């Protein structure tokens, strides 16, 4: 979850990194590994089935840099992340790693855990107090 102010702000992340809104669609994107070579990862990372539209998800797409190549570690500016949603099937070890990370963030951010809804065909979420 991103703070509303930072959604789509290209200056919010280090060079080569950018937030993109997920594109919800009934169909998988068509990617040509030759003509889409420079943006294939971005295209693949941006699409999700339209049934997940209620998530209003944004993703970070990491581009390689000459110095680092692909790096999964980035410095996220303070205040950029407003919350974290843990998956419905997250394992205990990963949940604890996220909790440890979240406890270090000032000001505190919201944490939610997804769960399979008992009544509807959907995934819901509940707030978690750390």
**pLDDT tens readout for residues 80-114:** 778 888 888 899 999 999 999 899 888 888 999 98
Sign of CA dihedral 112, 47, 6, 13: positive
pLDDT digits (tens, 9 = 90+) for 36-63: 777 777 788 889 888 888 777 888 776 6
Q: How far apart are the first and last CA of the chain?
A: 17
Domain locations along the chain: 1-76, 82-130
Residue 93 CB contacts under 8 Å (≥ 6 apart), including other chains:
none
pTM of the predicted structure, to 2 decimals:
0.59
């Amino acid at each position: 979850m991103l703070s509303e102010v930072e959604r789509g702000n290209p200056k919010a992340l280090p060079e080569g990194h950018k937030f993109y809104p997920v594109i919800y669609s009934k169909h998988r994107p068509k990617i040509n590994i030759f003509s889409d070579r420079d943006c294939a990862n971005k295209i693949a990372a941006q699409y999700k089935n339209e049934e997940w539209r209620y998530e209003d998800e944004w993703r970070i797409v990491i581009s390689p840099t000459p110095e680092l190549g692909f790096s999964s570690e980035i410095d996220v500016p303070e205040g950029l992340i407003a919350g974290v949603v843990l998956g419905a099937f997250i394992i205990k070890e990963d949940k604890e790693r996220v909790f440890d990370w979240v406890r270090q963030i000032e000001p505190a951010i919201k944490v939610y855990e997804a769960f399979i809804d008992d009544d509807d065909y959907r995934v819901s979420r509940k707030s978690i107090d750390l």
